[in-house]
Amino acid sequence: MYNQAELKKLVNKAILNLSYNEEAAKLNDPVKYILSIGGKRLRPVLALMACNLFSDQIDDAIIPATGLEVFHNFTLVHDDIMDHAPVRRNLPTVHSKWNLNQAVLSGDVMAFMANECFLQTPSRHLLKVFKVFNKAAIEVCVGQQLDIDYEKATIVSHEEYLRMIELKTAALLAASSKIGAIIGGADDRDAEMLYEFGRYLGLAFQIQDDLLDIYGDIKVFGKIMGGDIISNKKTFMLVKALEIASIEQAKQLHEQFNLKEFDPDEKVQKVIGIYEDLNIKNISEVLANDYINSAFVLLDKISAKNERKTELVNIANSLIGRDN
Protein backbone atom coordinates (compact mmCIF):
# COMPACT_ATOMS: atom_id res chain seq x y z
CA MET A 1 0.00 0.00 0.00
CA TYR A 2 1.14 3.50 -0.82
CA ASN A 3 0.68 6.48 1.49
CA GLN A 4 -0.27 10.00 0.46
CA ALA A 5 3.29 11.33 0.44
CA GLU A 6 4.51 8.48 -1.78
CA LEU A 7 1.69 8.98 -4.26
CA LYS A 8 2.24 12.72 -4.41
CA LYS A 9 5.91 12.05 -5.16
CA LEU A 10 4.94 9.75 -8.03
CA VAL A 11 2.61 12.39 -9.45
CA ASN A 12 5.23 15.14 -9.20
CA LYS A 13 7.71 12.92 -11.03
CA ALA A 14 5.17 12.27 -13.79
CA ILE A 15 4.50 16.01 -14.10
CA LEU A 16 8.22 16.68 -14.55
CA ASN A 17 8.28 14.09 -17.34
CA LEU A 18 5.36 15.52 -19.32
CA SER A 19 6.01 16.02 -23.02
CA TYR A 20 5.86 19.51 -24.54
CA ASN A 21 5.86 20.81 -28.09
CA GLU A 22 9.16 22.71 -28.16
CA GLU A 23 8.30 24.94 -31.13
CA ALA A 24 6.81 27.58 -28.84
CA ALA A 25 8.57 28.00 -25.50
CA LYS A 26 6.29 30.90 -24.57
CA LEU A 27 3.33 28.53 -24.73
CA ASN A 28 4.97 26.01 -22.42
CA ASP A 29 6.53 28.29 -19.79
CA PRO A 30 3.23 29.22 -18.09
CA VAL A 31 2.18 25.55 -18.09
CA LYS A 32 5.40 24.47 -16.40
CA TYR A 33 5.02 27.38 -13.97
CA ILE A 34 1.48 26.59 -12.79
CA LEU A 35 2.29 22.88 -12.49
CA SER A 36 5.44 23.60 -10.48
CA ILE A 37 4.12 25.92 -7.79
CA GLY A 38 2.66 23.31 -5.50
CA GLY A 39 -0.84 22.27 -4.64
CA LYS A 40 -2.12 19.21 -2.81
CA ARG A 41 -2.23 17.04 -5.97
CA LEU A 42 -5.52 15.92 -4.41
CA ARG A 43 -7.19 14.64 -7.57
CA PRO A 44 -4.38 12.40 -8.87
CA VAL A 45 -3.55 11.17 -5.36
CA LEU A 46 -7.21 10.31 -4.82
CA ALA A 47 -7.28 8.42 -8.12
CA LEU A 48 -4.15 6.45 -7.21
CA MET A 49 -5.51 5.66 -3.74
CA ALA A 50 -8.73 4.36 -5.31
CA CYS A 51 -6.69 2.23 -7.69
CA ASN A 52 -4.55 0.95 -4.81
CA LEU A 53 -7.70 -0.18 -2.97
CA PHE A 54 -8.07 -2.96 -5.49
CA SER A 55 -4.58 -3.50 -6.87
CA ASP A 56 -0.98 -3.32 -5.71
CA GLN A 57 0.00 -2.45 -9.28
CA ILE A 58 -0.81 1.22 -9.83
CA ASP A 59 1.57 1.99 -12.70
CA ASP A 60 -1.24 1.97 -15.27
CA ALA A 61 -3.03 4.70 -13.33
CA ILE A 62 -0.15 7.17 -12.87
CA ILE A 63 -0.30 8.95 -16.24
CA PRO A 64 -4.13 9.17 -16.38
CA ALA A 65 -4.07 10.45 -12.80
CA THR A 66 -1.54 13.07 -13.87
CA GLY A 67 -3.99 14.09 -16.58
CA LEU A 68 -6.48 14.92 -13.84
CA GLU A 69 -3.95 17.29 -12.28
CA VAL A 70 -3.15 18.94 -15.62
CA PHE A 71 -6.85 19.46 -16.31
CA HIS A 72 -7.44 20.83 -12.80
CA ASN A 73 -4.65 23.36 -13.23
CA PHE A 74 -6.03 24.35 -16.61
CA THR A 75 -9.30 25.26 -14.86
CA LEU A 76 -7.36 27.26 -12.25
CA VAL A 77 -5.60 29.33 -14.93
CA HIS A 78 -8.91 30.25 -16.54
CA ASP A 79 -10.75 30.70 -13.22
CA ASP A 80 -8.08 33.16 -12.09
CA ILE A 81 -8.62 35.17 -15.28
CA MET A 82 -12.38 35.29 -14.73
CA ASP A 83 -11.95 36.16 -11.05
CA HIS A 84 -9.23 38.77 -11.74
CA ALA A 85 -7.20 36.96 -9.06
CA PRO A 86 -3.64 38.29 -8.61
CA VAL A 87 -2.36 35.45 -6.40
CA ARG A 88 -2.49 31.66 -6.54
CA ARG A 89 -0.66 29.53 -3.95
CA ASN A 90 0.96 32.70 -2.62
CA LEU A 91 2.53 33.44 -6.02
CA PRO A 92 1.44 35.53 -9.04
CA THR A 93 -1.29 33.97 -11.18
CA VAL A 94 -0.40 33.11 -14.78
CA HIS A 95 -2.20 36.10 -16.30
CA SER A 96 -0.51 38.41 -13.77
CA LYS A 97 2.95 37.01 -14.43
CA TRP A 98 2.56 36.95 -18.23
CA ASN A 99 -0.55 38.48 -19.80
CA LEU A 100 -4.17 37.66 -20.51
CA ASN A 101 -3.70 36.23 -24.01
CA GLN A 102 -0.80 34.05 -22.90
CA ALA A 103 -2.81 32.71 -19.96
CA VAL A 104 -5.79 31.83 -22.17
CA LEU A 105 -3.66 30.04 -24.76
CA SER A 106 -1.47 28.19 -22.25
CA GLY A 107 -4.60 27.14 -20.37
CA ASP A 108 -6.11 25.84 -23.60
CA VAL A 109 -3.13 23.64 -24.39
CA MET A 110 -3.30 22.09 -20.91
CA ALA A 111 -6.76 20.73 -21.69
CA PHE A 112 -5.33 18.82 -24.65
CA MET A 113 -2.28 17.72 -22.66
CA ALA A 114 -4.71 16.16 -20.18
CA ASN A 115 -6.30 14.24 -23.06
CA GLU A 116 -2.87 12.96 -24.08
CA CYS A 117 -2.43 11.60 -20.56
CA PHE A 118 -5.79 9.82 -20.67
CA LEU A 119 -4.93 8.23 -23.99
CA GLN A 120 -2.26 6.27 -22.09
CA THR A 121 -4.95 4.43 -20.12
CA PRO A 122 -4.83 0.66 -20.78
CA SER A 123 -7.06 -0.08 -23.78
CA ARG A 124 -9.41 -2.33 -21.78
CA HIS A 125 -10.34 0.64 -19.57
CA LEU A 126 -9.84 3.57 -21.96
CA LEU A 127 -13.40 4.14 -23.17
CA LYS A 128 -14.96 3.83 -19.72
CA VAL A 129 -12.33 6.07 -18.12
CA PHE A 130 -12.52 8.73 -20.82
CA LYS A 131 -16.32 8.87 -20.58
CA VAL A 132 -16.07 9.46 -16.82
CA PHE A 133 -13.47 12.19 -17.33
CA ASN A 134 -15.28 13.90 -20.19
CA LYS A 135 -18.56 14.00 -18.26
CA ALA A 136 -16.78 15.57 -15.30
CA ALA A 137 -14.98 18.10 -17.52
CA ILE A 138 -18.31 19.29 -18.94
CA GLU A 139 -19.81 19.46 -15.45
CA VAL A 140 -16.90 21.61 -14.25
CA CYS A 141 -17.67 24.08 -17.05
CA VAL A 142 -21.39 24.05 -16.21
CA GLY A 143 -20.52 24.69 -12.57
CA GLN A 144 -18.28 27.60 -13.52
CA GLN A 145 -21.08 29.11 -15.60
CA LEU A 146 -23.50 28.80 -12.69
CA ASP A 147 -20.88 30.44 -10.48
CA ILE A 148 -20.69 33.37 -12.91
CA ASP A 149 -24.49 33.57 -13.11
CA TYR A 150 -24.88 33.53 -9.34
CA GLU A 151 -22.42 36.39 -8.90
CA LYS A 152 -24.97 38.61 -10.66
CA ALA A 153 -27.98 37.23 -8.80
CA THR A 154 -29.36 39.07 -5.78
CA ILE A 155 -30.54 35.90 -4.08
CA VAL A 156 -29.07 32.40 -4.37
CA SER A 157 -30.42 29.59 -2.21
CA HIS A 158 -28.02 27.34 -0.36
CA GLU A 159 -29.41 24.43 -2.43
CA GLU A 160 -28.45 26.26 -5.64
CA TYR A 161 -25.01 27.04 -4.24
CA LEU A 162 -24.41 23.43 -3.21
CA ARG A 163 -25.43 22.21 -6.68
CA MET A 164 -22.99 24.68 -8.23
CA ILE A 165 -20.06 23.46 -6.14
CA GLU A 166 -21.11 19.87 -6.74
CA LEU A 167 -20.49 20.52 -10.44
CA LYS A 168 -17.56 22.93 -10.26
CA THR A 169 -15.53 21.19 -7.54
CA ALA A 170 -16.96 17.84 -6.48
CA ALA A 171 -17.49 16.40 -9.98
CA LEU A 172 -13.77 16.15 -10.73
CA LEU A 173 -12.97 14.65 -7.33
CA ALA A 174 -15.75 12.12 -7.86
CA ALA A 175 -14.43 11.29 -11.32
CA SER A 176 -10.89 10.96 -9.94
CA SER A 177 -12.02 8.36 -7.42
CA LYS A 178 -14.00 6.41 -10.00
CA ILE A 179 -11.25 6.52 -12.65
CA GLY A 180 -8.70 5.13 -10.20
CA ALA A 181 -11.11 2.40 -9.14
CA ILE A 182 -11.80 1.38 -12.75
CA ILE A 183 -8.10 1.10 -13.61
CA GLY A 184 -7.55 -0.85 -10.39
CA GLY A 185 -10.10 -3.44 -11.47
CA ALA A 186 -13.07 -2.50 -9.27
CA ASP A 187 -16.50 -3.78 -10.27
CA ASP A 188 -19.20 -1.30 -11.32
CA ARG A 189 -20.79 -1.21 -7.85
CA ASP A 190 -17.56 -0.33 -6.05
CA ALA A 191 -16.54 2.16 -8.76
CA GLU A 192 -19.87 3.96 -8.41
CA MET A 193 -19.64 4.06 -4.62
CA LEU A 194 -16.16 5.56 -4.93
CA TYR A 195 -17.63 8.16 -7.28
CA GLU A 196 -20.14 9.11 -4.59
CA PHE A 197 -17.37 9.04 -1.96
CA GLY A 198 -15.42 11.57 -4.04
CA ARG A 199 -18.52 13.70 -4.58
CA TYR A 200 -19.16 14.03 -0.86
CA LEU A 201 -15.47 14.71 -0.36
CA GLY A 202 -15.60 17.52 -2.92
CA LEU A 203 -18.60 19.17 -1.30
CA ALA A 204 -16.87 19.12 2.10
CA PHE A 205 -13.64 20.37 0.55
CA GLN A 206 -15.27 23.40 -1.09
CA ILE A 207 -17.12 24.43 2.07
CA GLN A 208 -13.85 24.13 3.98
CA ASP A 209 -12.18 26.20 1.25
CA ASP A 210 -14.81 28.91 1.74
CA LEU A 211 -14.08 28.88 5.47
CA LEU A 212 -10.32 29.10 4.92
CA ASP A 213 -10.77 32.28 2.90
CA ILE A 214 -11.61 33.96 6.20
CA TYR A 215 -10.13 31.74 8.89
CA GLY A 216 -7.08 30.27 7.15
CA ASP A 217 -3.42 31.24 7.29
CA ILE A 218 -2.23 33.11 4.17
CA LYS A 219 1.19 31.43 4.48
CA VAL A 220 -0.51 28.05 4.20
CA PHE A 221 -3.56 28.90 2.10
CA GLY A 222 -1.76 31.05 -0.46
CA LYS A 223 -4.54 33.61 -0.95
CA ILE A 224 -5.41 37.01 0.47
CA MET A 225 -7.54 36.46 3.57
CA GLY A 226 -11.07 37.69 3.06
CA GLY A 227 -10.49 37.81 -0.67
CA ASP A 228 -13.93 36.36 -1.40
CA ILE A 229 -15.56 39.13 0.62
CA ILE A 230 -13.46 41.85 -1.00
CA SER A 231 -14.30 40.58 -4.49
CA ASN A 232 -18.02 40.12 -3.64
CA LYS A 233 -17.83 36.40 -4.33
CA LYS A 234 -20.74 34.28 -3.21
CA THR A 235 -19.70 31.54 -0.81
CA PHE A 236 -21.70 29.07 1.25
CA MET A 237 -21.23 31.33 4.25
CA LEU A 238 -22.70 34.38 2.49
CA VAL A 239 -25.56 32.44 0.94
CA LYS A 240 -26.46 30.84 4.28
CA ALA A 241 -26.09 34.12 6.16
CA LEU A 242 -28.51 35.88 3.81
CA GLU A 243 -30.92 32.97 4.18
CA ILE A 244 -31.12 33.13 7.99
CA ALA A 245 -30.32 36.80 8.63
CA SER A 246 -32.75 39.27 10.11
CA ILE A 247 -34.01 42.03 7.83
CA GLU A 248 -31.46 44.43 9.30
CA GLN A 249 -28.57 41.97 9.03
CA ALA A 250 -29.47 41.16 5.42
CA LYS A 251 -29.62 44.87 4.65
CA GLN A 252 -26.13 45.36 6.13
CA LEU A 253 -24.73 42.46 4.12
CA HIS A 254 -26.24 43.75 0.88
CA GLU A 255 -24.84 47.19 1.62
CA GLN A 256 -21.33 45.80 2.10
CA PHE A 257 -21.48 43.73 -1.07
CA ASN A 258 -22.80 46.66 -3.11
CA LEU A 259 -20.12 49.15 -2.08
CA LYS A 260 -18.17 50.65 -4.99
CA GLU A 261 -15.48 52.24 -2.81
CA PHE A 262 -14.45 50.81 0.54
CA ASP A 263 -11.64 50.01 2.91
CA PRO A 264 -10.98 46.26 2.38
CA ASP A 265 -10.09 45.49 6.00
CA GLU A 266 -13.13 47.33 7.30
CA LYS A 267 -15.45 45.53 4.87
CA VAL A 268 -14.04 42.11 5.78
CA GLN A 269 -14.39 42.77 9.51
CA LYS A 270 -17.99 44.00 9.19
CA VAL A 271 -19.05 40.96 7.20
CA ILE A 272 -17.24 38.56 9.54
CA GLY A 273 -18.98 40.25 12.47
CA ILE A 274 -22.37 39.44 10.97
CA TYR A 275 -21.27 35.87 10.23
CA GLU A 276 -20.23 35.45 13.85
CA ASP A 277 -23.57 36.80 15.10
CA LEU A 278 -25.32 34.19 12.93
CA ASN A 279 -22.99 31.32 13.92
CA ILE A 280 -22.14 30.78 10.24
CA LYS A 281 -18.72 29.26 10.91
CA ASN A 282 -20.22 26.48 13.01
CA ILE A 283 -23.08 25.87 10.55
CA SER A 284 -20.53 25.49 7.73
CA GLU A 285 -18.28 23.18 9.73
CA VAL A 286 -21.22 20.95 10.68
CA LEU A 287 -22.26 20.61 7.04
CA ALA A 288 -18.71 19.79 5.94
CA ASN A 289 -18.54 17.13 8.67
CA ASP A 290 -21.88 15.69 7.55
CA TYR A 291 -20.56 15.29 4.02
CA ILE A 292 -17.39 13.60 5.24
CA ASN A 293 -19.42 11.23 7.40
CA SER A 294 -21.58 10.36 4.38
CA ALA A 295 -18.40 9.63 2.45
CA PHE A 296 -17.23 7.29 5.20
CA VAL A 297 -20.54 5.38 5.17
CA LEU A 298 -19.97 4.65 1.48
CA LEU A 299 -16.31 3.79 1.96
CA ASP A 300 -17.27 1.25 4.61
CA LYS A 301 -19.51 -0.57 2.10
CA ILE A 302 -16.81 -0.94 -0.55
CA SER A 303 -15.57 -4.52 -0.94
CA ALA A 304 -11.93 -3.95 -0.02
CA LYS A 305 -10.18 -4.78 3.23
CA ASN A 306 -10.46 -2.06 5.86
CA GLU A 307 -6.69 -1.72 6.21
CA ARG A 308 -6.54 -0.75 2.53
CA LYS A 309 -8.95 2.12 3.18
CA THR A 310 -6.78 3.86 5.79
CA GLU A 311 -5.18 6.39 3.45
CA LEU A 312 -8.56 7.40 1.99
CA VAL A 313 -9.84 7.96 5.53
CA ASN A 314 -6.77 10.05 6.34
CA ILE A 315 -7.05 12.25 3.26
CA ALA A 316 -10.76 12.81 3.87
CA ASN A 317 -10.16 13.85 7.47
CA SER A 318 -7.32 16.17 6.49
CA LEU A 319 -9.57 18.09 4.09
CA ILE A 320 -11.73 19.39 6.91
CA GLY A 321 -9.03 19.68 9.53
CA ARG A 322 -9.82 16.54 11.50
CA ASP A 323 -7.01 14.87 13.43
CA ASN A 324 -8.44 11.38 12.98
Mean pLDDT confidence for 24-52: 94
Mean pLDDT confidence for 41-63: 97
Average pLDDT, the chain: 93
Reference 88, options 223, 211, 188, 198; nearest CA is 223
Using the predicted structure, report yes or no on whether residue 224 has a pLDDT greater than 70: no
Rounded CA-CA distance 224/88 in Å is: 9
**Backbone conformation region of residue 42, classed left if phi is above 0, alpha if psi is from -120 to 50, else beta:** alpha
What's the pLDDT tens digit per position in 162-197?
999 999 999 999 999 999 999 999 999 999 999 999
* DSSP states along 180-240: HHHHHT--HHHHHHHHHHHHHHHHHHHHHHHHHHHHS-HHHH-S-TTHHHHTT---HHHHH
Alpha helices in the chain (DSSP H): 4-16, 25-36, 42-54, 59-83, 94-97, 100-118, 123-152, 158-165, 171-184, 188-215, 218-221, 227-230, 236-244, 247-257, 264-277, 280-301, 310-319
Three-class SS state of 91: strand
pLDDT the model gives residue 320: 76
Using the predicted structure, report yes or no on whether residue 136 has a pLDDT greater than 80: yes
Rounded CA-CA distance 37/108 in Å is: 19
CA torsion sign for 142, 94, 111, 101 is positive
Band the pLDDT of 323: cuts 50, 70, 90. Answer: low
Domain residue limits, the chain:
4-319
- pTM here is 0.93
pLDDT the model gives residue 39: 85
Band the pLDDT of 218: cuts 50, 70, 90. Answer: low
Mean pLDDT confidence for 81-97: 90
What's the pLDDT tens digit per position in 285-313?
999 999 999 999 999 999 999 999 999 99
Q: Which fold is adopted by the domain 4-319?
A: Farnesyl Diphosphate Synthase (1.10.600)
Rounded CA-CA distance 20/14 in Å is: 13
pLDDT the model gives residue 324: 46
Mean pLDDT confidence for 111-136: 97
Mean pLDDT confidence for 19-43: 92
Show contacts of 110-116: CB within 8 Å, 24+ apart: 110/31, 110/34, 110/70, 110/71, 110/73, 110/74, 110/77, 111/71, 111/74, 111/137, 113/18, 113/31, 113/67, 113/70, 114/67, 114/68, 114/70, 114/71, 114/74, 115/67, 116/19, 116/67
CB-based contact 136:171 (threshold 8 Å): yes
Rounded CA-CA distance 282/284 in Å is: 5
